[in-house]
Amino acid sequence: MDKNWEIEANQIRSIEPKHILFLCVANSARSQMAEGIARSLAPSRVTIASAGSNPSTVNPLAIQVLKEIGIDISRHMSKSVQEIEAAAVNIVITLCAEEVCPVFLGKAQRFHWPVPDPAGGGVEGFRKIRDELVCRLKYIFQ
């Protein structure tokens, strides 16, 4: 994974996020993990959400690897991007790498962090993506 995310992370910090939406296709792994991690790090004034263009269910490995670091997303549900109030969102971060990212029809500033889908990599693949997201989101919020 490249380091270009740092440029976008600096831009996000300068915007002073009010509502961040993490998007991927199924809203089952990457975006769910990003939502959980961001909620644990962001100031309470920042709203954090995630969604997908073709939502399914939250992957149990995403729940497991976040629980390992003290974050509970066991009650999260996959959501459709259509369920999100577009006008409230000021930052969208897409996390798709090998698939086509969902379109967000709002005026939010858009950023793209191409993070590989951990689904084929077992628990270690999920840990790798979790650790990458922790690194990026700590950079933004701390």
Domains of the chain, first to last: 5-141 (3.40.50.2300)
Cα 68 off chain centre by = 18
Rounded to 5 degrees, what are φ and ψ at 82?
Answer: -70, -20
pLDDT band for 93, please (50, 70, 90 cuts): very high
Kindly report the pTM of this predicted structure. 0.95
Angle between helix 122-141 and 5-15 (nearest 10): 40
- Mean pLDDT calculated for residue range 89-111: 91
Is the CB of residue 50 less than 8 Å from the CB of residue 19?
Answer: no
pLDDT of 1 reads 61
Catalytic residues: 24, 96, 101
pLDDT, tens digit, 9 for 90 and up, residues 13-38: 999 899 999 999 999 999 999 999 99
Buried b / exposed e across 44-83, counting CB within 10 Å, b at 16+? Answer: eebbbbbbbbebeebbebbbebbeeeebebeebebbebee
